Amino acid sequence: MSRPEPLPFRLLERFLPSSTADAVVGDLIERQLTGMRLWRETLVAIWHLRDRAPKEVELMSSFLSDLRLAARLLARAPTYTAAAVLTLGIAIGATAAIFSVANPVLIQPLPYHNADRVMVVWERDRDGSRSTVGFTTIRDYAAHSTTFESSAALGDWQPTVSEGTEPERLQGLRVSSTYFHTLGVQPMLGRDFRADEDVPGAQRVVIIAYALWQRRFGGDPSIIGKPISIGGTPMPVVGVMPKDFDDVTAPGAQIWRVLGYAVTDPYACRTCRHLRMIARLKPGVTVERAQSELTKVHKAIAAEHPEDYASPDALVAPLQREVTLQYRPALLALGTAVALMLIIAIANMTNLQLARLVRREEEFAIRTALGASAPRLARQLLTEAMLIGVLGGVAGLAVAWAAIPALVRQLPPQLPRLGAIHLDLAALGVIGAIVVVLTVVVGLAPRRGRRVSNIADGLRAGRRLTGTPHSAVRAGLVVAELAFALMLLVGAGLLARSVIRLLDVDKGFDASNLLTLEFNAVGPRYPANEDVFAYHDKVRDAVRALPGVLSVGVVNQLPLGGNLDMYGVEAQDKPESDPAKVPSGDRYVVSADYLSTMRIRIVAGRAFTPAEERDTVNRIALVSQALATRLWPGESAIGKRIRMGGPERPFRTIIGVTGNVHHAGLDATQLKQFYVPERQWFFSDDTEMLVVRTQGNPTALAGAVRRAIQQIDPAQPIVKIAAMEEVVAASTAQRRLALTLFTCFALAALLLAVAGIYGVLAGNVAERTREIGLRAALGATPGNILRLVVGQGARMAVIGLGVGLFGAFALTRSLRALLFGVGPNDPTTIVVATGVLLAAALAACLVPALRALRVDPSQAFRSD
């Protein structure tokens, strides 16, 4: 009889009313069932016969009384409660906020029909980089691929709407007629583009976004079929996209028109790689299969036209991955950081709860003596944890609710799905899940220590000589907190050093006191290139005449402005048969005073003269040092001749070499550039940038500059007015945002870890008052006692930092994409972060240590 009963019988006795349990277990023993059959009988019996109503009522009422007790306890310790709820609220809220950003961007499928089948197709250059594609290539890919259900070409388009009110520059796309079908969306009003509209010479029709329709056309459904003036040309609106349509290939796009290319068009050639391609896979086709087929297709086309393909391969990749590629590392790093902070906050909460438990041992002992069972007390602790967890969750909800809109404002506007970032059900689910985990961890942690079972021991609590229950668990938690805090500090330190290095980079121009804006000249008033250039001249003259303006220049694209307009540069004396080996340079089509206005250095030769600006016969150019060195290493570039835009374009003579400018980003390594006077380029650009060197604060002049330009032609929109320093800052926005958030998380982690170490030591000193007094009475010096307390803290700190170092190595590897000028294991950063954390930890030790020193030896013998 002493043998323990099999588990099924114990379960039956646990869950069935005792007389029923006796009968059922007896029957089961008599039938000598074993194995699966026994379990089946057990589970069915429990299901049918379990002692239900009374137990549930009892549980409910005991839960309510537990809840009341927990609420009273928390209300009695308002500081503790506030600190706990605030800490949890920040950690939970930050987690929910970061999740809310990452979820639509990285996790949720794009809001298109079967979005997982939509792919982006690139040409893949020899260095593995993605390249846009020429129209003829897109046509060939589509014709030869059997894995695509449909495909479409798309190119950027920034039209000016001059209909009705203020002229306005819009973000748009020129697309194949199959574009929306390929994405898997339809207009909500009107119709999609037709194939017969996607040919040269067809009437140009547009589809507009819901927001544009509401804003400019008052949501009037009769807009369908009506022409609107786009850059002076009337184009009928054939459709309006649905309200929730978000074009991730061009975030913020508000208007679409058909591409209307034919293969015979000069800009449709295979090397005219300025279009993007999307494709929808047939059902059941894997990305791998599409990729292997397209590789074959590309190789066959390239073999047929070897002179046209620098790219050895093509790339098929899911649309969602491609459009979020550049944001993924930052989001993943932030996700990791916020998760670490959350873990620290939960560990801290567990620690606080354990500390309180030690002080409440007497209460539990009394309740046990009065008949409370161990499960009953455990439920009480779980209820308390749940109450704190739920309060923390509510605070977290408030934090997330406030933080998400603020975060969205800081995010780069090009981030796909930006509009879908809000506090949604998924975020609420995350908060709920955190609260559950928190409740379980904090509520059950005490059970891992020692059960409060020995009543006598409990009642003697406070008179114990040494040692407390849970002290090992608590020290372990502090060690973990320190380790995670170090990881975050190292991460924040690396990002900080990267941003400092980045802002220290020699940009190649002087960004101070420089106003920039985008303007253009489109419409019937500017039929020829010369009309456009004349307009540019007038704008420059008008702005230069303003008081406070030192000089003015015009350029087609601004360094760090986010444009990537590059051309291959061929040297006349070094013909290159392999198109892959022709270097590309940033194209700057400028007015003569651009270089001096930007204060770009001339390192050899000379800049353009105002006379050369109008000279269209003697073709000239300047090149950057990087381009000069690439084409003529060890030689002077002055007097050499180069050609851009293909064999049909003329060669031009290099008259000077400029310093390198950081164009694509402060971290750019591509520094090859060329400069050409605007009247010498073979077309006039749709949009131009004006750069204005001012005497004082450049933004103070913004209004005057705008008015001066609008007086010349009020129909032309002026956008993106900003000081160049803002443009530079915006180019580092993603890194700075990552840095700011990381720093916040790291500081919170530091604070929590230090609070943790302080809490453990302070609790320890309070509990060991008697021991310390005894030691002092027996002749321990203040130094001995100091060592006793600080030594304990130092041990935790050293172990925590040791573990944290390994963690930091792992974490910073994921940060690599965000770093600049520092390695992921930068020793300075690691040493400084470790030092900061160690100093903070030791400072946290000192307060309890000093308290220990003040212990009066007589306390050792006093009894309360």
Partner 1 sequence: MLGELEQIVLLAVLRVGETAYGVPVHEEIVRLARRDLTLGTVYKTLSRLEEKGFVRSYEGDPTPQRGGRRTRCFAVTTAGRKSLESSLATLRRMAVGLDVGLEPT
Note the residues at the interface with partner 1 (CB under 8 A): 19-20, 22-31, 40-41, 44-49
Is residue 274 within 8 Å of 683, Cβ to Cβ? no
Nearer to partner 1 by Cβ, of 41 and 457: the residue is 41
Rounded distance, CA 16 to CA 46, Å?
A: 7
Q: Can you tell me which residue has the tokens 């005057």?
A: 704
Nearest to 376 by CA among 385, 389, 364, 359: 364
Rounded distance, CA 204 to CA 223, Å?
A: 16
In one-letter notation, the amino acid at residue 636 is S
Nearer to partner 1 by Cβ, of 46 and 235: the residue is 46
> Whole-number minimum distance, CB 41 to partner 1, in Å?
5
What is the helix (H) or strand (E) element at residue 723, kind and residue range?
strand 719-723
Nearer to partner 1 by Cβ, of 27 and 265: the residue is 27
Is residue 769 within 8 Å of 361, Cβ to Cβ? no
Nearer to partner 1 by Cβ, of 24 and 434: the residue is 24
Is residue 254 within 8 Å of 211, Cβ to Cβ? yes
Nearest to 559 by CA among 604, 511, 603: 511
Neighbours of 831 (CB within 10 A): 12
Nearer to partner 1 by Cβ, of 8 and 260: the residue is 8
C-alpha angle 610/613/618, rounded to 5°? 120
Nearer to partner 1 by Cβ, of 41 and 197: the residue is 41
Nearest to 692 by CA among 549, 566, 796: 549
In one-letter notation, the amino acid at residue 91 is A
Three-class SS state of 263: coil
Nearer to partner 1 by Cβ, of 30 and 127: the residue is 30
Strand-pairing partners, residue 790, are none
Question: What tokens appear for 384 in the block?
Answer: 């308390």
Nearer to partner 1 by Cβ, of 47 and 683: the residue is 47
Nearer to partner 1 by Cβ, of 12 and 628: the residue is 12
Question: What tokens appear for 332 in the block?
Answer: 């993943």
> Whole-number minimum distance, CB 10 to partner 1, in Å?
13
Nearest to 16 by CA among 49, 58, 54, 56: 49
Rounded distance, CA 797 to CA 778, Å?
A: 29
> Whole-number minimum distance, CB 46 to partner 1, in Å?
8
> Whole-number minimum distance, CB 60 to partner 1, in Å?
24
> Whole-number minimum distance, CB 2 to partner 1, in Å?
13
Nearer to partner 1 by Cβ, of 15 and 245: the residue is 15
> Whole-number minimum distance, CB 11 to partner 1, in Å?
12
Rounded distance, CA 812 to CA 486, Å?
A: 11
> Whole-number minimum distance, CB 22 to partner 1, in Å?
5
Using the Cα atoms of residue 708, residue 709, residue 713 and residue 715 in order, give the sign of their dihedral. negative
Nearest to 253 by CA among 265, 245, 261: 245
> Whole-number minimum distance, CB 50 to partner 1, in Å?
10
